[in-house]
Amino acid sequence: MISVRLVSFVCLHFATFTLLNCLSVKDQIYANIIADNPCFLRLNGTNQFGCTSSRFGNVGTLHLVINSTDLNWLFNEGKADPYTVALTPKMFNREVLQSIELSAKVNGIMLLMNGTEQEVINNDNLQNTGFSPEDTCPNRYSDVNSCPMKPWNPYGTDILLKSWSFPIFVVYDQNTIKDIIDCFKNHNLPLNNQNDQSLCALELKSHMYAAVDSKTCLRRTMMSYQNIRPIKFCDPLGDKNVYWSLKELRPNTPDKSVAIVAARLDATSMFQDLAPGAMSTATSIVTLMTTANLISEMLSYNDADNFSRNIMFILFNGEAYDYIGSSRVVYDMLDGNFPNDLIKLNQSHIGLFVELSQIHYDKEVFVYRPIKNNASENVINFMNIFNKSLSDDGFSVSESKSTSIPPSSLHSFLKIDPKFPGIILTGFRDQFKNKFYHSILDDAENIQYGNNSTIAQTIANISTSLSNSLYTFITNSTYTGLKQANSSYVTKLLDCYVKSMNCEVFQSLTSPLHLPDNPPNYYISIDLITNTITSLSRLLFASFGSKVINEV
Amino acid sequence: MTLLEFTGCTLTAFGPALSMFIVTIMNDPVRVIILIASSFFWLLSLLFSSIVWFVFPSKQQVWFGVIVSVLVQELFRYFLYLLLRKAERGLKRFVVHSLVSNNKHMLSYVSGLGFGVMSGLFALINILAEVGGPGTMGLRGGYSAFCIVSSIFTAFIILLHVFWGILFFHGLNTDNKNFILYVVISHLVVSEITLLNQYYFNTLALCIVFVITLGSGYYAFKTAGGHLPIIDRLKNQITTTAAEN
């Protein structure tokens, strides 16, 4: 019988030499799937949400769900449970997931992105139905006003904020998807015959140690530190806010003398390492960066020093999760600790707060203001110049009539000061135009970024108008120079923030370091890690408005 | 479901050997020691053939590796015989009341079983380790009966080793080269036939090995001095009818 052992030995190591079916026993039983993006578990003060598998993985009979007929068969007639369901984005909505959860027959879900992204969107008609796992009113519990009748995110399915009892994976690899579909067709069909044959099954493993709520989980982690081998059950979310000011901040800042231009630095999605956040956040970041660059060119360091007013650009981090970035800034302001205990900026020093949110490629900008009447002089001046400048470029600028303001960092400031002089510049009126808010599809194609795209020009125009208005805020005079935001520079920045971090601008900042070749992941991630995109944004800010020193 | 398959395969392969161990060997410590010693000798033969395999340049020729391995196994069976011969006198003096020496075939039976169990373990353990998991054979090639076929093969091989042990030792005891030749050749044939499995000729291979097992079993049974009443009666009938004619 030694021969059999030798056969398996040979097959293991010399599979290429032998002609026929010569895989090891294990390879004849199992095949690996390329799917590295599980849905993960998050906790808040009272609940857990997201998904986890059991400790050693969930195994379920594969079932391909194309339409609701397949699903009904599974619920009513499927006998080989537990099942693992492979479905397309069309079926990946709250109703389906909820019915799957209730049926208790399914212990895993595989989301298949079959084809290129455009094909997926067209096949599943996502352009009309939308695909957003976020709440209809994102951050509804930390906003100052309640969710409006027409919710901000009408396409929101809320699945990001539910606790699912099964793991969910997304598969992009086309060969893997083909393998999965073939496996189902070869082994699991015909359906009425499932009891008589070996069936194709999937094992999904994404075990999360976290459970119950933040308090419990952190306590468990602390307790385990007494052990010889401590276990981390969970980590707090956290990263860094990034700010840059036109000139250095000094103590004893006069009241209302600082303008803040803000945007959020993070986005989120259901799946680990996949938070492309192009329209959710990247367009706003690029607009902010372009503006910062332009204003630093309009007002050189020495010129700016002649005026008492200052501009601060802030990228808030973690805003997708109840504004943890901006609320930290507010907390520090109240504590006399922002940005440090010498300068002590607080909300009374801020004369103008402009937030950029979901800048759209369409040539229209909507302005939201918490205070409609009796707005401060700064805000009115800013609005006038901004309106005029953008309208000259063929934009339509209008102010929203809505009484509530959309999800934004401004909420954190309004909580401590209802008269806070803030405005929000967005690309949507009353409801998000973004159909893929906080989803894995919110990438370069969602902002129609490609060759001859309008987004770069739109951003350049908005940046120019914004810079003109900010110039007036500082100098109290109209900008007469010829400096304008350059759409080719905007394109370079979009490359970095939407396509690949290994781009020209970032390379020039980090030149000997090798940068990852994928689009940035905008998920805030855990406190111990500073995201690459955060560090790179900081470096980018640092490169603006530098004074050239000839002799060192 | 896979747990059932695992249990079924394990018991199919090792059930006969386990019963034989419980009924005939377990009660006598000396027999257990001999069983372990012969298993160890089989392991030594595995080590030796692995070295040959490692040194051997052309590794695609599995059939050649099989021949080498079979010859090495038979060589070590011979070494085991030499060792037991030397030890037998000492054993007899040491344990007076032992059952070892009551039957001269007892030694060969126990050592044959030791050989068989160890080779069966090595043949099947890889497969059993995988069968226990959530999956079963048949995702990429392979047939769903693979595990049970392998188990039956293993059971046959264990039985064959027992028979070969008896025949081989008997041949050496009586200086009869035919016994030894039969053992070596049938071992070669059986091992080479298992190569057919990769071409899905498993039924054919199984039938051939079954016939060889049955033949060797009867041969060994006769050699050990066994009598089957039915066969004796048949033989008597044949001889009487022949005499009548």
Give A14's pLDDT tier (boundaries 50, 70, 90): very low
The identity of residue A458, as a single letter, is T
Among the partner-chain residues B66, B130, B142, the one whose CB lies closest to the CB of A3 is B66
Find the residue in B nearest to A7 (Cα): B62
Q: How close B231 gets to chain A, by Cα (Å)?
A: 31
Give B100's pLDDT tier (boundaries 50, 70, 90): low
Domain ranges of chain A: 2-215, 242-542
Q: What is the mean pLDDT of residues B121-135?
A: 87
Predicted local distance difference test score (pLDDT) of residue A257:
93
Among the partner-chain residues A1, A27, A198, the one whose CB lies closest to the CB of B157 is A1
Chain center to CA of A383: 29
B141–A21 C-beta distance less than 8 A: yes
Do the beta carbons of residue A432 and residue A267 sit within 8 Å?
Answer: no
Give this complex's ipTM: 0.76
Which tokens is A111 given? 């989301």
CB proximity A198 to B under 8 Å: yes
Do the beta carbons of residue A404 and residue A334 sit within 8 Å?
Answer: no
Among the partner-chain residues A22, A26, A198, the one whose CB lies closest to the CB of B138 is A198
Burial A440-464 (b: 16+ CB within 10 A, else e): bbbbbbbbebeeebebbbbbbbbbb
Compute the mean pLDDT over every residue in chain B, rounded to the nearest whole number.
87
Q: Is the confidence at residue B94, as pLDDT, over 50? A: yes
What residue has token string 């050749």?
B185
Coil, helix or strand for A436? coil
Q: Is the confidence at residue A7, as pLDDT, over 60? A: no
Which tokens is B140 given? 């990429």
Give how far Cα A248 sits from Cα of A299, A306, A366, Å.
14, 12, 32
Q: In sequence order, which ranges of chain B are alpha helices (DSSP H)?
A: 2-20, 29-55, 62-94, 104-131, 146-174, 177-193, 202-223, 229-244
- CATH fold of A242-542 reads Aminopeptidase (3.40.630)
Using CA of residue B94, residue B99, residue B105, residue B110, what is the dihedral sign?
Answer: negative
Give phi and psi for A399, each to the nearest 5. Answer: -100, 135
Coil, helix or strand for B235? helix
H or E segment and range at residue A258 = strand A258-264
Count Cα neighbours of A164 within 13 Å in the Cβ-side half-sphere.
32
Query: Which stretches does DSSP call E strand in A381-473?
Result: 396-399, 422-426
Q: What is the mean pLDDT of residues A121-138?
A: 91
Task: Kindly list the residues from chain A whose CB atom is less than 8 angstroms away from the CB atom of residue B141.
Answer: 21, 23, 28
Predicted local distance difference test score (pLDDT) of residue A359:
94
How does pLDDT run across B197-216, given as a tens digit for each residue? 777 788 889 999 999 999 99
pTM: 0.84
How does pLDDT run across B30-81, given as a tens digit for each residue? 889 899 999 999 999 999 999 988 887 766 778 888 899 999 999 999 999 9
Query: What is the DSSP code string of A171-225?
Result: E--HHHHHHHHHHIIIII-SGGGGGGS---EEEE-------S-HHHHHHHHHHHT
CATH architecture observed for domain A2-215: 3-Layer(bba) Sandwich (3.50)
Residue percentage of chain A with pLDDT more than 90? 68
Find the residue in A nearest to B200 (Cα): A21
Q: Is the confidence at residue A492, as pLDDT, over 60? A: yes
Do the beta carbons of residue A237 and residue A492 sit within 8 Å?
Answer: no
Q: How close B29 gets to chain A, by Cα (Å)?
A: 28
Residues 6 or more apart in contact with residue A523 via CB below 8 angstroms? A266, A267, A268, A269, A272, A273, A275
Q: What is the distance between the alpha carbons of residues A42 and B120, in angstroms, rounded to a whole number?
A: 50
Residues 199-258 of A with CB under 8 A from B: 200-201, 203
Query: What is the DSSP code string of B97-123?
Result: T-SGGGSHHHHHHHHHHHHHHHHHHHH
Burial B188-223 (b: 16+ CB within 10 A, else e): bebbbbbbebbeeebeebbeebeebbeebeebbeeb
The identity of residue A292, as a single letter, is A
